[in-house]
Amino acid sequence: MPADQRPATLHDVARLARVSVATASKALNGRKHVSAASRAEVLKAAEVLAYSPNTLARGLVAGRTGMVGLLTSDLEGRLSIPILMGAEDAFGADRTSVLLCDARGDAVREGHHLRTLLSRRVDGLIVVGARPDPRPSIGRDLPVPVVYAYAPSADPDDLSLVTDNVTAGRTAIRHLVEVGRRRIAHITGDPSYGAAQDRARGALDELAEHGLKLAGDRVMFGAWSEAWGRSATGMLLTQRTAVDAIFAGSDQIARGVLDALHGAGLEVPRDVAVLGFDNWEIFTTSSTPPLSSIDMNLETLGRVAAERLMAAFDGRLGSGVEQLPCRLVPRESTTAR
């Protein structure tokens, strides 16, 4: 049901207020050199006409559009949405809008979206990868600053924001030790993921500092699936490995772990504590018991990406990989005994 009257322009406001467009512009933008009387006139006229400034036209002259592009390959939106929200917060939703483009893992489509975004003269770009491993740079000499989030760019000259997986691994183990566990196993996902390796390394380092070693002796790499969590746990149990805690590489794996433990008649956290990763609410709060997990602070990632972009708008952009800390979210699956 659109009212087919075209929106009021600054000209309309100026005419109604009996001033020039210049005065009207100044008045609406709160600038000096305008009398209180005219200012009031203009404001009233704008009110009457429901004037809404054309941001496009403003951007044309300002050289800034107030838009940033969010180029993602994450089909589920599980990463993009929190990052988007963090960025929205940092920018201020009224000054900057986000153009979200989903490349669906297709490089051609990504190039297409990139061209479109540049032709829309976005002020900056945030690139969100689907998995936390280096990805091809979208290009060196782009006319706007680019920040890579979650998945770093393969080009070290780009600026990338990633989660600090090594420290996250340490945090996980420290927590389990603090709640009195000593025989800790680590069941994680696809070993080709750098994140899996990093978390495992952090875990091993922290264990060593406590004079402990991994229950079952080695990190159990597999797949990022519930099924793997189940079968890996099954292996642990049939081998009669002494275990009082399992650090899972993802919440989905943790779900499988819980399943297998329950199936074996073990109680969580009394017999075995379980710690997940991702803090994906649909998994952590609905499991029994509610699952402790490590949150990657994706909103923060988005917020920092926005801040780096804003800093780049005046001045130059940094480069390299910036590690952002994770956060432990304790729930019942890892309470002290």
Partner DNA sequence: TTGTATGCGTTATCAC
Partner DNA sequence: GTGATAACGCATACAA
Q: Which residues bind its own copies (CB under 8 A)?
A: 1-3, 5-7, 52-57, 59-60, 63, 65, 67, 70, 75-78, 80-81, 84-85, 88, 93-94, 97-102, 104, 109, 112-113, 115-121, 140-146, 157-158, 225-227, 252, 255, 282, 286-288, 312, 316-317, 319
- Range in contact with DNA (rule: CB under 7 A) among 29-37, 125-133, 144-152, 248-256: 29-37
Residue 57 or 311 having the CB closest to DNA: 57
Under DSSP, the state recorded for 227 is H
CA 166 to CA 38: how far, in whole Å?
Answer: 62
- Indicate which of its own copies, DNA, none lies near residue 101 (CB less than 5 to 8 Å, by partner kind): its own copies
60 binds DNA (CB under 7 A): yes
User: Would you say 6 or 316 has its CB closer to DNA?
Assistant: 6
**Segment interacting with DNA, rule: CB under 7 A, options 11-19, 64-72, 289-297, 315-323:** 11-19
226 touches, from its own copies, DNA, none (C-beta below 5 to 8 Å by class): its own copies
If binding means CB under 7 A, how many residues of this protein chain bind DNA? 31
Q: How many of the other CB atoms lie within 10 Å of CB of 235?
A: 16
67 binds, among its own copies, DNA, none (CB under 5 to 8 A by kind): its own copies
Separation CA 328–CA 294 (nearest Å): 5
The string of DSSP codes covering 54-105 is -HHHHHHHHT--SEEEEEE--TT-TTHHHHHHHHHHHH-TTT-EEEEEE-TT
Half-sphere exposure of 246 (CA within 13 A, CB side): 38
**In the chain, which ranges are E strands?**
67-72, 97-102, 124-128, 146-149, 159-163, 184-187, 245-248, 273-275, 293-295, 320-324, 327-329
With respect to DNA, which residue has the nearer C-beta, 21 or 100? Answer: 21
| Least distance to DNA, CB of residue 78, Å | 37
CA distances from 247 to 106, 207, 236, 274, 310 (A): 33, 12, 13, 6, 38
Among 16, 19, 168, 243, binds DNA (CB under 7 A): 19
Q: Which of the ranges 50-58, 84-92, 107-115, 291-299 carries the binding residues for DNA, by CB under 7 A?
A: 50-58
Count the Cβ atoms, other than its own, within 10 Å of residue 83: 28
Cα separation of 189 and 249, whole Å? 6
Q: Would you say 28 or 310 has its CB closer to DNA?
A: 28
Q: Does 66 bind DNA (CB under 7 A)?
A: no
> Is residue 32 within the footprint of DNA (CB under 7 A)?
yes
Of 92 and 156, the one with the shorter C-beta distance to DNA is 92
Distances (CA, A) of 314 to 11, 123, 309, 311, 323: 32, 11, 9, 6, 23
Residue 31 in contact with DNA, rule: CB under 7 A: yes
Which residue's structure tokens are 């540049």?
A: 118
Pairing of strands 124-128, 67-72: parallel
Q: Which does 75 bind (CB under 5 to 8 A by kind): its own copies, DNA, none?
A: its own copies
Binding residues vs DNA (CB under 7 A): 6, 9-11, 18-23, 25-26, 28-29, 31-35, 37-38, 51-54, 57-58, 60-63
